[in-house]
Amino acid sequence: MSDILLTIPEIDERIAAIRGNLRDLIEQAAAYSGAADEERASDRIADQEEELERLIKRRDELSKT
């Protein structure tokens, strides 16, 4: 996902959306039963956390300029 041309407000919107996704995924993971479901939920949560960290870093970089 290319965020090079995004503005700070656009990045903030994506950050908010990802945080919402994480809340939903955590709630879903709590309701899952079975190792395969838990692993899949864990992978999705990890992916969202990585994206969140990347966007926060990019927003911080843009804020410095």
Query: 26-62, pLDDT tens digit by residue?
Result: 888 888 777 777 888 889 999 999 999 999 999 999 9
Distance CA 50, CA 30 (A): 20
**H or E segment and range at residue 45:** helix 35-64
Alpha carbon separation from 38 to 6, 32, 34, 43 (Å, rounded): 33, 6, 6, 9
Indicate the pLDDT class of residue 17, thresholds 50, 70 and 90: very high
pLDDT at 38: 80
Residue 12 has pLDDT above 70, yes or no: yes
Write down the pTM of the prediction.
0.79
Indicate the pLDDT class of residue 9, thresholds 50, 70 and 90: very high
Distance CA 6, CA 3 (A): 5
